Structure 1
Amino acid sequence: MVDKFLGTWKLISSENFDFEYFVLHCAGVGFTTRQVGNHIKPSLIINMDDQGMIFVKSQSTFKTMEMKFKLNDTFEETTVGNTV
């Protein structure tokens, strides 16, 4: 099932970002980061290795974030607001 998601995905547009913008503010994401986030269109790159480890990279001109995990295993993710 994961195979269907592997590859590179490019954000084309955002709808209802005003609500997301509010949620980011409540989550403690700073003003500048929210402003930039409203205008960038990141790529999402999803890969998987032979042991079933999934790698997800969100890449933009502003910031690149990466995480890795195995399905059904608990993991911690640091959000754009630097919270775990």
Structure 2
Amino acid sequence: MSEKMVEYVAESCNLYISNIRLSENSAVILPVVENMDPSLFSAEDWSTSLSYIFMKPLSFQTPAAAKDYYLKELRQKFSDGGLT
């Protein structure tokens, strides 16, 4: 697949790529990521995409591990009151 994971999430949520970093968008992003097949993207693409989203170096051995990490972070942002 030529599309990057960040592009897929942004397009699926009708957001700009830069806006998927924002906590207030967690409620929109969470169901999209929950329903994603992690194997749509390589572990390398997940790692690069999540490094961009969280603005820190991240590396995952498998797409499933990366998806689990992203879901955990999204749920944390959601439960921390990222929604106003």
Q: Same fold (TM over 0.5)?
A: no
Answer 1 or 2: which has greater strand percent: 1
TM bucket, shorter chain: under 0.3
Query: How does the TM-score come out when normalised to structure 2?
Result: 0.26
Q: Is the radius of gyration larger for structure 1 or structure 2? A: 1
> Which of structures 1 and 2 has the larger relative contact order (alpha carbons within 8 angstroms, sep 6+)?
2
Answer 1 or 2: which has greater helix percent: 2
Query: How does the TM-score come out when normalised to structure 1?
Result: 0.26
